[in-house]
Amino acid sequence: MTGKLNRPSPFTLHTRSTECAARCGEVRTLHGTFQTPIFMPVGTQATVKAVTPENLVELGAEIILANTYHLFLRPGYELIRELGGLHKFMNWDRPILTDSGGFQIFSLRELAKITEEGAGFKSHLDGSSLFLSPEDAVTVQEALGSDIMMCLDTCIPYPAERNETLSATELTTRWARRSRAAQRETGQLLFGIVQGGMFPDLRSLALEQLLEIGFDGYALGGLSVGEPQDLMRDITEHTAKLLPQDHPIYLMGVGTPEDLVESVYRGIDMFDCVMPTRNARNGMLFTSRGRVVIKNSQYSNDPSPADENCGCYTCRNYSRAYLRHLYMSREILAYHLNTIHNLHYFVSLMQEMRTAIANDSFMQFRKNFYAIRDEVR
């Protein structure tokens, strides 16, 4: 099954800013709709680290991400299918997006060998030899039952020579065509991934080829891999302008609160990143006034919440002094409470941006976002 999709786009545009490319919409999936722009908490191993699905519902998460590569290795997609699919397995009844595993193969490339057929790699768990083709990635994701599946792609490192980038980008396109051909009519959505490295013309070429194949949505891959921030934003803006505006646009693996604001400004709809959960476990809290490193001694007797402007469970009930005590004592509760706060901050930031876009005041929101941070520097 290749060529243009014969079904309507799952994306509905609600509002577009008159001042920039920011926009509000919604995406329809098998497990309900979610509003855009959206941040997806990362649940790599069928769990968002340190929190429960009930916590995620309470803090307002509408969709989460899980990872094909890791679930392929452990516990295995056949087991998850036998137990009723990923939603039932992890007790989450809202939408799930599964990454194809391309980035994990890229990050473990010393254990992998990329060929035309797919990715051969050694398990980082036990060293066993495994293989994942574009068709396999679709089969695994169909078995998992995710709402949005991603094509297997070849992530390009930074820096990379033009010839290397062109070769990897063309391979991603060929894999995308095979992924579409392998897709069955399950009702699951399949997104194509635009590669092309830091070369705008190669991004344009990749996009043209993906549009000929036809997908339910389009993702920008190969960014936030070590390139300068300005370059990432330039490539994002260049590519987002060319993507079909009647489909969801997903920027993979990004990023900081500033990255989210700047990318929404440039027309991006969907984001994921491990930063809020990973930083929570490392004692860094995101707040409306900037970052708080909770282990710092200045918070040892601070009775205020992590963020006085935050209404999350953590900020309603606990002080900075207590959070510092937990973190310095390496108590498990520290990771739980910090993660609830950080995810609430990211989810709320997206809600605030959606409201600003709906009110056609996004540029004022963006100005205020930076002004509050500048005050405390």
Catalytic pick among 99, 136, 147, 216: 99
Q: Are the C-beta atoms of residues 149 and 190 closer than 8 Å to each other?
A: yes
Question: What's the CA gap between 345 and 314, in Å, rounded?
Answer: 11
Which single residue is written with the structure tokens 């397995």?
89
Structure tokens at 265: 């400004």
99 belongs to the catalytic site: yes
**Pairing between β-strand 148-150 and β-strand 189-194 as defined by DSSP bridges:** parallel
Catalytic pick among 136, 216, 269, 272: 272
The C-alpha torsion from 51 through 55 and 59 to 61, rounded to 10°, is 80
32 bridge partner residues: 29
CA atoms within 13 A on the CB side of 282: 9
> What is the secondary structure of 308-347 as a DSSP string?
TT--SHHHHH--HHHHHHHHHTT-HHHHHHHHHHHHHHHH
Q: Are the C-beta atoms of residues 95 and 147 closer than 8 Å to each other?
A: yes
**Pairing between β-strand 112-114 and β-strand 96-99 as defined by DSSP bridges:** unpaired
Q: Are the C-beta atoms of residues 14 and 26 closer than 8 Å to each other?
A: yes
126 belongs to the catalytic site: no
Q: Which residues are catalytic?
A: 99, 272
